[in-house]
A = this chain, B = another copy of it.
Amino acid sequence: MAYGKRRASGQVSGDEIVVEAAWLYYHDGLNQNEIADRLRVSRATVVNYLQEARENNYIRVTMAPDVFIGHKLSHQLREKFGLKAVFIVPNGLGGVQSHLTRAARGAAEWLPDLIVPGDKLGVAWGQTIYEMAELLVSSGKVTIPDVEVAQLVGSMATPYGFTAEICSAHLAQGLGAACVNLHAPAIVTNADLAQQLREEPIIKKQLAALGQCNKAVFAAGSVCANSHVVMSGIASEDDLKTYVENGACGVLCGRFVNKEGKPVSGPLDERMIGVELNKLTDLEMGLLVSVGEDKAQAMCAVMNGGYATHLVTDADTAQIILDL
């Protein structure tokens, strides 16, 4: 029109009008027509502004976690396993994959509420943990001062891309926290080497840091042949069989546990580098994030073992666990 004042021209941050539109829309509850009038642009432009605002994460929609914690299944699970709090995400119709993503999303929303400044948070690995970390990084950055994230198990060669160090690094980034990585493989070929590594000053220090964690996030692993422990090369199928014969029915931080959550010993124990299960029993908070029928047994085991104080899962899995 009259004097051409395009958005980019001369502004320090050309987004002021976008912000204004977003404010009017989301806060003041005006509709797009009203906003268009005030801003003297067409309504279509307002649509664009709002999209831009959403893309730039100027707007955050979150759901009150209390709602999920209050869920009926939540009560029952809390009761059954003596947990402090349980977060149930509703399960749509998609496959397990989509359930997993939703649980991750739930966990990503909940976690910041569970962490306070000064905490040291141990992090395991797995797809769920990885997705959770990703979501924390991307969607609006939380920052809690003075938090340290520590990698609970050594690294491994997963074909999926969510190794232990990536999980911990991303989570640290997502929380704006410092990160202590564990610069060692999760498993080596013989116990001697493992022991030597554990004594290496750098690694020894990192392992010591794990003992200082007061909180932790982990997933439960199943003991099927196609489980992640096997796929990532931590255990061979034979190893797995041995452990299962000894009563293993779940995996936590690379370690096998039986129905009661007690550690099951086997050929790999001495060759692994990572946190030991007894460090995980008296945490202020142990957040278990897992989904899927195949994980149900393992989750039970982990909860029976007293490692978890908090749980995120979906309604389906919750029901299965309660029926076990």
Contacts and interface: CB of A to CB of B under 8 A. Distances in A.
Most B CB within 10 A of own CB, among A22, A27, A68: A27
Contact of A102 (B28, B58, B75): B28
Interface string A79-97: 0000000000110110000
Interface in A27-57: 27-28, 30, 38, 57
Nearest to A12: B72
A13 B71 contact: yes
Interface in A4-35: 11-13, 15-16, 19-20, 22-24, 26-28, 30
Given A67-B19, A70-B13, A27 B105 contact: yes
Contacts of A38: 92-93
Contacts of A68: 19
A61 interface: yes
A59 interface: yes
B13 A63 contact: no
A117 B72 CA distance: 31
Contacts of A59: 61-64
Nearest to A11: B72
A89 B24 CA distance: 10
A92 B27 CA distance: 11
Contacts of A11: 72
Contact of A60 (B19, B62, B117): B62
A90 B26 contact: no
A16 B72 contact: yes
Most B CB within 10 A of own CB, among A28, A58, A92, A116: A92
Given A13-B72, A68-B19, A117-B116, A26 B61 contact: yes
A145 interface: yes
- For the complex of A and B, the 8 pairs showing the least CB-CB separation, nearest first, are A20-B90, A12-B72, A60-B62, A58-B67, A61-B61, A19-B67, A26-B61, A23-B90
